[in-house]
Structure formats: C-alpha cells, structure tokens
C-alpha cells in the first residue's frame, strides 16, 4: 500500500510538473498578448504624439503635474495641570514652579495628497487631511511650495477645498463622470504615500457603492490600486485620463498598509458640493424629514412585502416635508424622483444630492397599495436645528461619539414613539465614532445600558460612569417598531487602536 502511494505521488508530481511547464509557456504567450493589448497601437494619436510606451505612461505624464503633496501641522492646546489638594505633596508642583502649569506639547504633523482644479489655485483633498490643521503646506510636482488656506469642508463626505495663491499658471486635472464608472475598469492612483511623493499605482475598479461605515452618504469606489496612508485626497484616474474619484480610505493590513482594498469618493459627489464649498457658507442639502431603516427578512415577512428593496419609514419629523405631504410610519419608499431605492442607504444620498426647495416625487407601498406623493424638499440644516431644539437635557459622550437627549413630546411625536416609552434619544452622532461603527444611528432610542433602564440622560450618564473602561457595553436600542441589542467593545480597546 505504501509503495502504491509513493508511486502514485510520483505520477502526480510528474503530471503537475508537465502541466506547470505548459502553463508557463501559455502564460508567457498570454502575457505578451496582454501587453500588446494594453499598449495602444502606434496609430493612436495620444501615444504617437508623445512617444509613450503605453497608455498609463501617457496619462501619468499629463496628469501628474497637477497632483500635489499636502503637509499639515497642528499645535495641540496646552492642558492645564491641577495642583494636588491643599496639604498634600504633588511632585508636579516643583516642576510647575519653574515651568508654569503647562506641559510642553509637540506639534503634530500629517501628510496627504490633493489635485488642482483650476488656474485660480483651488485644490480638492480629504477633510480628514486638513481638519484642525494650524498650518497647511502644498508642494507641487515642480518642487515649488505654497501656503494653503481652507476654503470649505464637508465632514459628511470627507471632502475639503483648499486654495493656494500661485505666482504663475498652474497645471490642472480633468474631472470625469463617476456615474458611468463600471467594475473592471482600469484606474490609476497618484499620491504621497508615507511621504513618497508622486507615487503612481495601477489597478481596477473592484466594486461600486461600498458602505464602509464612514457616514450616511457612503458610496465609495473600491479599487485594488495600491492606496496607503498619505494617498488620502489624491486622484483616482480612469483610462481616459479623467479624475473619477478622491482616494480617501483603506482597509489596512496587519502593519497598517495596503492589502489591495482601497476606497475613493466618487468625483460627482465632490462636484455637486463644489459651489457650496467655494461659497464658504456650508453645504446645502435637501431634507425629507423621515427616519428610515432597512427591510430585514423578518420585517419583509411581517409587513407582507414582495421585496426587501426600498426604505422603510420608521418615523416622520413633525412639520417636515414628508409629514406635510402625507407620508406615514410604515410606508416603504420604493422610488425617489424616478430613481429606484434598492437599499435604504440609497434614499439619504438621493435626497442630499438635491437642493432645498427642489420639487420631488416619491413612490411608495402602503399596506400593499402603490401610492405617489409630491413635495418640495426642506433644508437639512434647518431640519436638524429643529430636531436639536426639541432635544432637552442633551449630553455629549466623546468616547462613544454620540449626543443623547431626554425624550420630549416633540421627539416622541416626530419618532412616532409609543406613549410611556422610557429611554434617551440619539440626537447626534459622529459617523467615525465607536457608536456609529457598532450600528447606532441618529433617531435611535437607547432604552437600556447593560440591561439597566436609562429613562433619562441622568440615568444614562450614571450607568455609563460605573462601567469599567475594559468592559464591553450592551445597549438595548429601539428603532422603529422593534428593539435590538448592540454591543460596543471596550472603550479602552478602541483608544488603543487609534
């Protein structure tokens, strides 16, 4: 039996070796064919004129001069150090007698990328690259450096607009149309990874419409073009040499680098808010005035829906456009001005793409009946202000990234909460905070923390204060008609990951 096994293994090995040789020869042939296909024929005008070896070289030569490196400096605020209680020795006291009540803090430096939009010196980059920066330096491909100023930012989409005052004409990029992007297209990323300026990587569009938990308007382009820390804010360019995305996030490996999964913000999302960013008055977005949720298989069965597509209305804001038009809790919105709502995440993005006052049409399903409603969108900023005004006893928890408030009659009516419900409403949330990452949303009602009732913000604060930093926190959250459990890992572990 052992001989048979050894003989069989030798046969398998020999066969594998022959197959490998054949595969290598075939692979070599296919590689040559692919290389010829990737390089346009010499009759191509762009390559013929520039003498480039292939289309990627041609694109990089044209677009690279307009890609910039961004260096920022942030000076931390000096914390005030308290002395020890009277009558007790504090070893810091002697130090403070000589150096004052402030500990020295070193400036923080970070780096990123960007690209020049026009001759006036406007540059697109990521908000997280420049937020809280006290000094911004921009270095061009030519080596010339300029001071830059923030013109406008939009934390919701992680987009920022900065500007430099140049003493000569600037190279600019061409902006493309990300709405017509397809999976499998070639793309090029140019940026400043790890401070290695003007680095070029090539890949394909791996997926579209990715939600990575960064914010309510997530619609990322996924690519395997190598993107690393420092690439943030740089352009993602298609095979036509047009910018179709702003590189903004990575799924890090064990060492914090690229593992072939990077994300870019669609350029059309940036183009939609460019005028608002230049206006320096904040980004203006439409507001529908509904709280929505995804349709789970359980909800689909309970509501007797034919499909899980659409956005289920879990609450309607008091006095908002939706309530005025007649939208009710339990409605399933299936279309927004002709656009299909395949997933509940589609609706906030479609609404945000419109300006306040825009006339829109909603198609929905109400108890199996198809209905159509027309309305004019409100202003998201005004809608959020009215919601916040109704929030009383508001408390902010930076470690969790949430703001909670006591339930007022206005909030109860706006969220269509049953009478007598006890809990605190999530009136604000940091999309990058641990609570948002765990799944908590604005408009949720937290009924319990670690199975202890939290009827108001005072009880909520009291229960949280007694939970050790190294323990997970269990939240009982009400959303719509149902309650669910959400676990947030130990806050201390979250700090260690940052």
Angle at 479 between CA 477 and CA 485, to 5 degrees: 30
User: Residues 58, 154, 158, 224: which is the catalytic one?
Assistant: 158
Q: In the beta sheet, which residues pair with residue 116? A: 123
Is 232 among the residues known to form the active site? yes
Closest by Cα among 214, 208, 222, 207 to 264: 222
Beta strands in 47-117 (DSSP E): 67-74, 108-116
DSSP letter at 320?
A: S
Residue carrying structure tokens 């990322």: 220
User: Residues 128, 224, 344, 346: which is the catalytic one?
Assistant: 128
Dist. CA 171–CA 3, nearest whole Å: 72
Dist. CA 391–CA 263, nearest whole Å: 36
Is 158 among the residues known to form the active site? yes
Closest by Cα among 479, 472, 475 to 442: 479
Does residue 222 contact residue 263 with C-beta atoms inside 8 Å? yes
Rounded to 5 degrees, what are φ and ψ at 3? -60, -45
Task: Kindly tell me the sign of the dihedral angle through the C-alpha atoms of 319, 324, 326, 332.
Answer: negative
Is 405 among the residues known to form the active site? no
Closest by Cα among 233, 222, 343, 363 to 293: 343
Angle at 128 between CA 122 and CA 130, to 5 degrees: 50
Find the length of the chain: 498
Does residue 231 contact residue 193 with C-beta atoms inside 8 Å? yes
CA dihedral (320, 326, 331, 337) in degrees, to 10, reads -80
DSSP letter at 134?
A: S
Q: In the beta sheet, which residues pair with residue 376? A: 359
User: Residues 52, 226, 232, 386: which is the catalytic one?
Assistant: 232
Q: Which residues are catalytic?
A: 128, 158, 232
């Amino acid at each position: 039996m052992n001989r048979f096994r050894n003989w069989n293994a030798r046969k398998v090995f020999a066969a594998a070796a022959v197959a490998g040789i054949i595969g290598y020869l075939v692979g070599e042939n296919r590689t040559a064919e692919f290389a010829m296909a990737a390089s346009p024929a010499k009759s191509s005008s762009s390559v013929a004129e520039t003498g480039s070896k292939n289309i990627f070289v041609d694109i990089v030569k044209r677009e690279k001069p307009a890609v910039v490196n961004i260096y920022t400096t942030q000076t931390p605020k000096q914390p005030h150090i308290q002395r020890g209680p009277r009558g007790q020795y504090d070893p810091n006291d002697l130090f403070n007698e000589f150096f004052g009540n402030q500990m020295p803090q070193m400036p923080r430096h970070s780096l990123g990328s960007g690209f020049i939009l026009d001759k006036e010196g406007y540059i697109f980059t990521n908000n997280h690259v420049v937020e809280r920066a006290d000094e911004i330096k921009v270095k061009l491909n030519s080596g010339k450096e300029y001071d830059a100023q923030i013109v406008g930012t939009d934390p919701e989409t992680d987009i920022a607009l900065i500007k430099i005052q140049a003493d000569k004409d600037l190279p600019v990029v061409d902006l493309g149309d990300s709405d017509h992007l397809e999976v499998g297209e070639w793309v090029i990323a140019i940026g400043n990874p790890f401070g290695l300026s003007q680095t070029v990587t090539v890949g394909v569009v791996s997926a579209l419409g990715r939600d990575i938990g960064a914010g309510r308007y997530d619609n990322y382009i996924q690519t395997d073009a190598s993107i690393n820390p420092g690439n943030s804010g740089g352009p993602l360019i298609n095979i036509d040499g047009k910018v179709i995305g702003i590189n903004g996030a990575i799924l890090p490996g064990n060492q914090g680098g690229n593992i072939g999964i990077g994300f870019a913000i669609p350029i059309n999302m940036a183009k939609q808010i460019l005028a608002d960013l230049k206006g320096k008055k904040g980004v203006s977005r439409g507001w529908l005035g509904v709280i929505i949720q995804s349709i789970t298989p359980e909800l689909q069965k309970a509501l007797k829906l034919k499909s899980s597509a659409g956005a289920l209305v879990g609450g309607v804001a008091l006095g908002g456009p939706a309530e005025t038009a007649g939208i009710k809790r339990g409605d399933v919105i299936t279309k927004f001005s002709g656009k299909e709502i395949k997933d509940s995440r589609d609706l906030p993005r479609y609404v945000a793409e419109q300006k306040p006052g825009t006339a829109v049409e909603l198609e929905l399903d109400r108890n199996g009946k198809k209905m159509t409603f027309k309305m004019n969108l409100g202003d998201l900023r005004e809608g959020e202000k009215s919601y916040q005004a109704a929030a009383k006893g508001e408390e902010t928890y930076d470690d969790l990234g949430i703001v909670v408030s006591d339930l007022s009659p206005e909030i109860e009516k706006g969220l269509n909460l049953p009478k007598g419900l006890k809990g605190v409403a999530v009136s604000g949330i940091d999309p990058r905070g641990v609570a948002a990452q765990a799944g908590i949303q604005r408009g949720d009602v937290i009924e319990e923390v670690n199975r202890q009732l939290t009827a108001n913000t005072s009880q909520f604060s009291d229960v949280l204060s007694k939970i050790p930093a190294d323990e997970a926190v269990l939240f009982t959250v009400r959303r719509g008609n149902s309650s669910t459990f959400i676990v947030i890992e130990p806050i201390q572990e979250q700090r260690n990951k940052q």
